[in-house]
Amino acid sequence: MERKATETKMVIVVRKDLCMTKGKYVAQGSHASLGLVLDMIKREDVHTQAILEKWFSESSTKICVYVKSLDKLHEVKNRAIEKGEAVKLITDSGLTMFHGEKTDTCLAILGYRNNVDEITGHLQLL
């Protein structure tokens, strides 16, 4: 099936080096997904609202990929910001894992498929 450049998708990028439990991966990815959507709803710019509405009206596609380090996670975040994409970084409070230390665990990016793929297309599925 050929994809259209105007289709939207969300990519959730998690840190595999943290060796989180499956439940923790799900929880952190959910925080990123919901947090990003809520942030986008609060924005008042037409471009962001159009992408969000299109994503909701399509299939609300979500893909989960991974990186192997904090540096790589931050690289993805910075690249998304440079490209003007909506991005949400999640920092876990450390209450159930990570020995009480706040830890950047994942992020979510939502935008037009081609733009998001330029940022995350090289990453492997989780």
User: Residues 111-126: pLDDT tens digits?
Assistant: 999 999 999 999 999 9
Domain of 91, CATH number, reads 3.40.1490.10
Identify whether 1 is part of a domain: no
93-101: average pLDDT:
86
Nearest-CA neighbor of 96 among 20, 8, 4? 20
Taking only the tens place, the pLDDT of each residue in 51-81 is 999 999 998 999 999 999 999 999 999 999 9
Q: How confident is the model at residue 99 (pLDDT cuts 50, 70, 90)?
A: confident
- Number of structural domains (the chain) is 1
pLDDT on residue 72: 98
Identify whether 76 is part of a domain: yes
Identify whether 110 is part of a domain: yes
Range of the domain at 78: 8-125
Nearest-CA neighbor of 40 among 61, 19, 56, 27? 56
SS3 state of residue 124 = strand
Query: What phi and psi values does residue 64 have, to the nearest 5 degrees?
Result: -115, 125
